[in-house]
Amino acid sequence: MATPRPIPGILDIAPYVPGESGAGEIRKLIKLSSNETPLGPSPAAVAAFNDVAGTLARYPDGSATDLRQAIAEVHRLDAHRIVCGAGSDELLSLLAQAYIGAADEGVLTEHGFLVYPIAILANGGIPVVAPERALHADVDAILERITSKTRIVFLANPNNPTGTYIPDSEVRRLRRELREDVLLVLDGAYAEYVHEADYDEGADLVASTDNTVMTRTFSKIYGLAGLRLGWAYCPDNVADVLNRIRGPFNVSASAIAAGVAAVRDVAHTRRAIEHNDLWLPWLSDELQKLGLTVTPSVANFLLVHFPDAGALTAADVNDALKQRGIYLRRVEAYGLPNALRITIGTADENQAVIAAMKEILSDSDQGAAAE
């Protein structure tokens, strides 16, 4: 019997699998699998969210005017170039929808965010993967994979799940050497955490070109993952395109209200950064003391590698941690089968992870010695 058939590419998509949460378990869990902020949202954002409860029968402002203005004031940007969406995921998908057609190519890096190939395939395009160099995006490798069919390049900077970044000079070189009709999308989901002097999130490049977009999210440092809120900073021509194809009310009233309060609460954002600055190096040092390899990270998570010849694999350790109520992120879907990604949690959570890791690895060593 004939059935409706999706466009080519849809059935090639491996559905995105989020970090495990242990939902439904009664005991208290430690969830460090989704790069959520341990400080939670700004109290002002929570209050703003609650204040909207009495107006839920009304449609939101379809242009998210107050939110775009708040983002523009805090980040010193042009509000007219900002497009808001239901998470940066929606905006990434809209960009692919707008600029990728059947058999067109979109380039991403080897360990790039899994949403990129999904967005490309969903529009009948072909994902082209550029190998990385030591878990860093390689501009030369990206450029070598540009063809006449390339329409878009997705670059997460910093990258998830590696936590690595490339400097502004390399991003600008990439833009300079790409054809003018190739859209460069700079995904800055973790930009707020980066302090390196040679890093730039991309707003200046957007302002000076007609073919670069920067995307950002409220799901990480702002603690609004449950509301699904993101934004893109675009050239006027790209903003016009996105506004033509996005849903007329794609951002809810509650998300707009909470987002305005969150972005304006600069003190809360600063506390989140300071917490990460304290615990990111601590957790990295403690993991290395256990004999594990940790990729240096500028984000709010760490990529931890387990010895290929070791007694325990990443999967073994992950299972042992889950038995203790600790949930990390398996990253085999990113081509990293023997690594785990650990979000920076609260002080108690970070210490609990290290204590559990010590116990698991010690038990394994003792078992190997007994044999």
d(CA 26, CA 104): 48
The dotted CATH code for 23-39+267-370 is 3.90.1150.10
- Residue ranges of the chain with pLDDT lower than 50? 26, 368-370
pLDDT for the residue 26: 47
Alpha-carbon distance of 322 to 333, in angstroms, equals 19
pLDDT at 369: 46
| Residues contacting 24, CB < 8 A, separation 6+ | none
Q: Range(s) for CATH 3.90.1150.10 in the chain?
A: 23-39+267-370
User: What separation in angstroms does the CA of 102 have from each of 85, 96, 126?
Assistant: 25, 11, 8
pLDDT tens by residue, 41-85: 999 999 999 999 999 999 999 999 999 999 999 999 999 999 999
Which contiguous run of DSSP H or E holds residue 186? Answer: strand 183-187
**What's the pLDDT at 7?**
77
Q: What does CATH list as the number for 43-264?
A: 3.40.640.10
Q: Is 306 helix (H, G, I), strand (E, B) or coil?
A: coil
Residue with tokens 């491996």: 14
Residues of the chain with CATH 3.40.640.10: 43-264
